[in-house]
Structure 1
Amino acid sequence: MRTNLGILAASTLAVLAVVTSCSSGTSAPKSSKPSHSYAPGSVGALCRAQHWPQPMPDVKGKDPLTKSLDCFDHIRAIAPDGHDVMDDPANTAYTWKIVSSTPAAGAQVGLSTPITLKVRDAQD
């Protein structure tokens, strides 16, 4: 009987320790790995290997699909009529030219900084 009471007491203490640690307001450390995995040598992997933030590139006069913006996740390219040319169903973003960007060229930006481009028709 004494052995069973010892096992019961040890089990109770173990459960109490687990419950106490769970309710102490601390949580398990979060993984430092990114939520996406990128193939070695891919644009995503190369971009994430760089030190951020970096200066916003000068993209005035270029098309919204310029390689200068490949690292950025959140780009909108707004035409004079207000639509986002990055969402054009015919994928015609290359027919537009960038007039200005927000943030402006030279401003420090991160990979996930929202970037808004004002564009005009390349033929104008």
Structure 2
Amino acid sequence: MSFGEDVRSAFPRGDTDTVTRMSEAELGRARATGDPAGEVEALYSLARVAVRNGDLHRGEELAETALAVPVRAGDRSLEERPRHVLAAVTRMSGDLDRARGLYEAGIALNEELGRPETVTSDSP
């Protein structure tokens, strides 16, 4: 299995320590090899752990860091997951108007990328 498959398998099981350990290792590897997809996946996973642990501020920071990677690399296809976490954190923080805008931007991105199956996960 790939890192993404492994981490997405461990997260729903609640295995936060494994997700954190794997994500930190992947983040180091991805940054060392210039792999923006791996870097985004690792940061996204760490953001999800932060949110699960109730640290919305840290989750937002990690998601913003993750979003900066595809923006810098010019790869819009990597923006979806960080944008989704930012919208969720904003909603959980109570800023519902901003959250709606973020979800709508995520929907527009997925439509632009031809990912209709992902659009429903961003419905506000």
Q: TM-score range by the shorter chain?
A: under 0.3
**Relative contact order, higher structure (CA 8 A, sep 6+):** 1
- TM-score, normalised relative to structure 2: 0.23
More strand by share: 1
- TM-score, normalised relative to structure 1: 0.23
